[in-house]
Amino acid sequence: MSENCQDLNCLAGIRVVDFTQFEAGTSCTEALAWLGADVVKIENPKTGDPGRRLRPGKPDDDPWYFHMFNANKKSLAINLKSPRGLELVKEMLKKADVTVENMAPGTIERLGLGYDEVKKINPRIIFCQIQGFGTGSKYENGLAFDMIAQAAGGTISVTGEPDRPPVKPGPSFGDTGTGMLMTATILGALYERQRTGKGRRLQVAMQDAMIHYMRTCFATQARTGKAAPRRGGKSGGGNNSPSGLYQCKPLGSNDWVYITTSRGNPDHWGRLMRLIGRKELIDDPRFATGAARIEREAEVDAIITEWTRQHTKEEAMALVSGVG
């Protein structure tokens, strides 16, 4: 195995006290664990992380949902409402580099473990909070799961067919997407602490995180003066053809390949036409420019589909990748 493919231990020696549950917070702390941090998950002695019960698993094991977001962690069952439990956790926080929580708004403070209290015992700690909505928002006390974050943050509004209701994207951008942004923020704070010697309070709101994934949609709005439309399987900008999903053999429910050409590189159209045996269309005035192809998008799609239906998606992808 190449040296660059060895296990990452960039965060070896970094101690993380993990108060997270479900997915947004747990995906963040799991990423820190993957990078070598020593992550200790604090769980309710009676019920554990709710993710342990969220979906059925084997009778003698936790469900796959829980495993997906809690790999590489240690776990301690501590009653945070008992004096002894609180004492134990504070001892851990004194020695910790990072702590992360995504409890309901105000819960960590009511437990006596809010930032103002924790920084008194450890001014170097990176204190991280994942919330549904930003502090100061009229929704700041609201709870949020992935689908709420995606609806409030806008990703659902641009997903689906143009003439149909919006659709929630399959991946959990609201949960795991937020967790990954918090992970990056923590890495920045740890780097800053090397220079300043001081900790920091970090907050990432799930609604705000979705805006991060909407930037191309905002670019479309700035260009057109209108909210970005739903485009189904088409390129979100709506200014490129061909760009979309094309059916492949054997025509099963997932036998599709995504093919796109770049408006920034006019040669893509010519390369694609030569590949599919239609080089006579390269200079055809009906399709010779990007603008012309957009006007005849349905015809372009039919031309591409005629070719892709002769190949499996793996064959089509390999052939298209070979021509650049």
Burial (CB count within 10 angstroms: exposed 0-12, middle 13-18, buried 19+), residue 151: middle
Residue 83 tokens, joined = 């004096």
- CA–CA distance, 262 with 241 (Å, rounded to integer): 8
Residues 6+ apart with CB under 8 A from 141: 105, 106
Helix (H) or strand (E) holding 205: strand 200-205
Any idea which residues carry the catalytic annotation? Answer: 175
Cβ count near 1 (within 10 Å): 6
Cβ partners under 8 Å of residue 128, min gap 6: 28, 98, 99, 100, 101, 182, 185, 186, 201, 202, 203, 204
> Helix (H, G, I), strand (E, B), or coil: what is residue 131?
strand
Segments in 197-312 forming alpha helices (H):
206-212, 215-224, 267-275, 290-295, 297-308
CA–CA distance, 248 with 152 (Å, rounded to integer) = 36
